[in-house]
């Protein structure tokens, strides 16, 4: 899956041609993983292109940076306007949006505070994340042998580039063993999340999702899912989920910007429910779209 180029990338306040959007190899981020990013989707609607919860995404980006004693060089409102302008300039009706802030070029060494924080925003077409049939049929996943980050090692609520080294280990292992995605357990052995998505479980009509103490990213799709589920009349509980629930839940699904709402049909080759998208998953999926 090669990236589909669009015309411009917004970099530190300027619209730069896609092929010219470059950074120096001695930028701090290249050596120490010091970046923070967002994944956002814009959808084509009858009223024109609409970006899904853009403000919340930009606010989360600012918080991700703050944990690392940094500050974005632009206000959230400026980033919102620049994103909209970029989508217009790139003439996109729907797209994936990737803002990334990073410690740039100035000094080297672990101590980062002498390096500037630069920021760019790119847009491109990103279709179905976990394969063509995933949204309807569900995906086959495994429990990873790699654990998620302990919150006292790398805080999972900061969407930091470095955290995704852990995600890469989880995803590579899963794919090379024939699964679509891997699930990371937290430091207590409870369910945390997939390498790039939050998880939900349905048991006897009640919906459960791991809480903030299980090394999860506080997903924006997760929060929309909780709101939608409650509006549909379901009870939703944020709670520690033991690994064994992965094998006994009636329904399981992933949520995230890239995956949207994707059912899980098996875990470690054990079928979830009937091995296809369950009724509650489907009703939430429908309401989400
Ligand atoms: N957990 C992780 C680890 C994660 O990366 C994401 C998003 C989520 C949960 C869901 O968060 P939200 O998008 O706010 O609902 N992962 C992004 C990056 C995926 C990638 O491969 O890159 C995404 O979905 O855009």
pLDDT tens profile 19-50: 999 999 999 999 999 999 999 999 999 999 99
Ligand 1 pocket residue status of 60, Cβ below 6 Å: no
Q: How many residues does the chain have?
A: 289
Pocket test residue of 96, 198, 262 for ligand 1, highest count of atoms within 8 A of CB: 198
Q: Give the pLDDT of residue 1.
A: 61
Q: Indicate whether residue 219 lines ligand 1 (CB < 6 A).
A: yes
pTM: 0.97
**228 C-beta closer than 6 A to ligand 1:** no
pLDDT of residue 136: 87
Count Cβ neighbours within 10 Å for each residue of 66-101 and write b for 16 or more, e otherwise: eebebebebebeebbebbeebbeebebebbbbbbbb
pLDDT at position 131: 77
Q: Ligand 1 centroid vs 107 CA: distance in angstroms?
A: 30
Mutate which of 51, 216, 258, 284 for ligand 1? The one with the most ligand atoms within 8 Å of its CB, which is: 258
The residue to mutate among 196, 226, 259, 260, having the most atoms of ligand 1 within 8 angstroms of its beta carbon, is 196
Task: Determine phi and psi for 151, rounding to 5 degrees.
Answer: -60, -20
pLDDT at 67: 98
Please tell me which residue in 5, 44, 47, 159 is annotated as part of the active site.
159
**Known catalytic membership, residue 55:** no
pLDDT recorded at residue 132: 74
Cα(76)–Cα(59) distance, integer angstroms: 6
Per-residue pLDDT of the chain (289 residues; tens, 9 = 90+): 688 999 999 999 999 999 999 999 999 999 999 999 999 999 999 999 999 999 999 999 999 999 999 999 999 999 999 999 999 999 999 999 999 999 999 999 999 999 999 999 999 998 778 877 898 899 999 999 999 999 999 999 999 999 999 999 999 999 999 999 999 999 999 999 999 999 999 999 999 999 999 999 999 999 999 999 999 999 999 999 999 999 999 999 999 999 999 999 999 999 999 999 999 999 999 999 9
Q: Is 99 in the pocket of ligand 1 (CB under 6 A)?
A: no
Which atom of ligand 1 is the closest one to the Cα of 220? Answer: 14
Identify the residue whose C-alpha is closest to ligand 1 atom 11.
Answer: 219
């Amino acid at each position: 899956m090669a990236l589909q180029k669009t015309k411009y990338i917004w970099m530190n306040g300027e619209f730069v041609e896609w092929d010219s959007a470059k950074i120096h190899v001695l930028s701090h981020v290249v050596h120490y993983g010091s970046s923070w990013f967002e994944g956002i989707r814009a959808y084509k609607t009858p009223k024109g292109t609409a970006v899904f919860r853009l403000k919340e995404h930009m606010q989360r980006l600012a918080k991700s940076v703050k944990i690392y004693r940094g500050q974005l060089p632009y206000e959230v409102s400026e980033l919102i306007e620049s994103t909209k302008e970029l989508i217009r300039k790139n003439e996109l009706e729907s797209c994936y949006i990737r803002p990334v802030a990073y410690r740039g070029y100035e000094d080297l060494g672990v101590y980062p505070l002498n390096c500037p924080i630069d920021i760019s925003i790119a847009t491109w077409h990103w279709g179905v994340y976990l394969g063509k049939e995933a949204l309807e049929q569900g995906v086959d996943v495994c429990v990873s042998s790699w654990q998620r980050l302990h919150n006292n090692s790398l805080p999972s609520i900061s969407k930091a580039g470095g955290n995704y080294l852990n995600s890469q280990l989880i995803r590579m292992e899963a794919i090379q063993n024939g699964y679509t995605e891997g699930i990371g357990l937290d430091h207590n052995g409870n369910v945390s999340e997939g390498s790039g998505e939050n998880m939900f479980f349905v048991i006897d009509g009640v919906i459960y999702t791991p809480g903030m103490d299980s090394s999860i990213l506080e997903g924006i799709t997760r929060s929309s899912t909780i709101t939608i589920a409650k509006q549909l009349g379901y009870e939703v509980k944020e709670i520690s989920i033991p690994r064994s629930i992965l094998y006994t839940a009636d329904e399981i699904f992933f949520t995230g910007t890239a995956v949207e709402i994707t059912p899980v049909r098996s875990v470690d080759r054990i079928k979830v429910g009937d091995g296809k998208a369950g009724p509650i998953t489907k009703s939430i999926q429908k309401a989400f779209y």
